[in-house]
């Protein structure tokens, strides 16, 4: 079960890297709830598909890799790193965490994203 969940999450990342929305129906429930770290929410596969297509008109995902998975009952936590390039030449980097809830068919029914700037500093260190 854990391996299947990890593979499903990797498919989601690969969709963004390859700009291919085809696998969406297999990985999400129809009524999935998705919340981005900056507050945008998408309810249902149709809204996620619209966001996906709109985002890819002006951006390209260069890197999106998993750092680690943690599993507990019907939830998975994923720590990840991403780098995206906007058409205006701006590159964005982010480290993040997903909290994912699964349905009984091992599809994603809820996904909450938390992000952090990976450009860290040590204000009191060397």
Q: For the segment 63-80, what is each residue's pLDDT rounded down to a tens digit?
A: 999 999 999 999 999 999
State the fold for domain 2-116: Nuclear Transport Factor 2; Chain: A, (3.10.450)
- Alpha-helical (H) ranges within 1-126 are 2-18, 24-27, 45-58
Task: Say how many CA atoms lie within 13 Å of 78 toward its Cβ.
Answer: 23
Q: For the segment 22-75, what is each residue's pLDDT rounded down to a tens digit?
A: 999 999 999 999 999 999 999 999 999 999 999 999 999 999 999 999 999 999
Q: Measure the CA–CA gap between 100 and 5, rounded to whole angstroms.
A: 10
The whole-model pTM stands at: 0.90
**3 state SS of 88:** coil
């Amino acid at each position: 079960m854990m391996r299947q969940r990890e593979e499903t999450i990797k498919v989601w990342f690969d969709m963004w890297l390859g700009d291919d929305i085809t696998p969406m129906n297999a990985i999400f429930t129809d009524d999935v709830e998705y919340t981005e770290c900056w507050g945008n929410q998408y309810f249902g596969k149709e809204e996620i598909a619209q966001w996906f297509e709109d985002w890819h008109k002006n951006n390209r995902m260069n890197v999106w890799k998993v750092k680690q998975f943690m599993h507990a009952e019907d939830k998975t936590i994923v720590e990840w790193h991403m780098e995206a390039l906007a058409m205006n030449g701006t590159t964005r980097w982010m480290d993040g965490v997903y909290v994912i809830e699964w349905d009984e068919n091992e599809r994603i029914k809820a996904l909450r994203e938390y992000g952090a700037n990976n450009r860290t500093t040590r204000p009191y260190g060397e």
